[in-house]
Chains A and B, each alone.
Chain A
């Protein structure tokens, strides 16, 4: 049975990622209404990231650390923890920071994003970075799940 916390973590993080992709699309050719939608997307994205942080963090400390990490670390797939999970849990910390900056830029510059190219390009680049990094982290999550399956199968032999 899959722990609901990890499903929540993944779901919220994916919502967050795609919200930032939405921001990129809206700002490629901005109008006032597109900027407003980008602002809404930024709120959704930041909420998604912070909630994913909360639920993922709780799961990591209370479930993964106690029950899953020992199994993975004792298996042939121990690199999925020692490299992949360690990278994922620390690089993830970049995302809420970046997301907060993006939201603040969208609210601060607002309709000026139509004329202010530096600010607009900044938001597009930062939001694109959040999407790409987050996508990579999601892939790492899948690798870690695979590592757990390897560990479980090894335990059944």
Chain B
């Protein structure tokens, strides 16, 4: 198990969740696409998140350099915090 690949995969996946959240509200086609994956757009986002997490981990794990540092964790945490804030601000403005 490669820690750096894991944190990077998590960072990208959380960023994807934020983009998919906004995208599904703004695009009926994208919303419909997610709904075809899991019978409901939220289930589609859930399934794709898990798949992306695994996929991105395997992609990043192929990299030779897996020197984990605290910087990788900060990137993940900042993505989480800003991602949450972006979602909140979007729905406050979109409501």
Residues of A at under 8 Å CB distance from B? Answer: 53, 57, 60-61, 65, 79, 82-83, 86-87, 89-91, 93-94, 97-98, 100-101, 104-105, 107-109, 118-119, 121-122, 125-126, 129, 133
Given A65-B40, A86-B87, A133-B80, 5 further pairs, Cβ under 8 A: A82-B91, A97-B14, A100-B10, A100-B53, A101-B10
**A97 and B69 contact, Cβ closer than 8 Å, known pairs A82-B91, A108-B1, A133-B80:** no
- Given known A86-B91, A87-B88, contact A93–B45 (CB-CB < 8 A): yes
CB distance B3 to A119 under 8 Å?
A: yes
Q: 18 A-B residue contacts at CB 8 Å?
A: A61-B40, A82-B95, A83-B95, A87-B87, A89-B42, A90-B18, A91-B83, A93-B17, A93-B45, A98-B10, A98-B80, A101-B6, A101-B10, A104-B3, A105-B3, A105-B6, A108-B3, A122-B68
Q: Which residues of B contact A (CB under 8 A)?
A: 1, 3, 6-7, 10, 13-14, 17-18, 21, 39-40, 42-43, 45-46, 49, 53, 68-70, 72-73, 76-77, 80-81, 83-84, 87-88, 91-92, 94-95
Closest to B69 in A: A118
A122-B70 contact given A97-B13, A105-B3, CB 8 Å threshold:
yes
Closest Cβ of chain A to B67, distance in Å, is: 10
Q: Which residues of B contact A61 (CB under 8 A)?
A: 39-40, 42-43
Interface contact B91-A87, CB-CB below 8 Å: yes
Are A122 and B73 in contact, CB atoms less than 8 angstroms apart?
yes
Interface of B is mostly: helix
Chain A residues near B70 (CB, 8 Å)? 118, 121-122
Chain A residues, CB < 8 A from B73: 118, 121-122, 125-126
Whether B6 and A126, one on each chain, are in contact in the complex, defined by CB atoms closer than 8 angstroms, is no
Nearest residue (CB) in A for B2 is: A108
| Bound Cα distance A89, B45 (Å) | 11
Contacts of A57 in B (CB 8 A): 42-43, 46
Asked if B77 and A97 make an inter-chain contact with CB atoms under 8 angstroms apart, the answer reads no
Contacts A86-B91, A90-B21, A91-B87 given: A97-B53 contact, CB under 8 Å?
A: yes
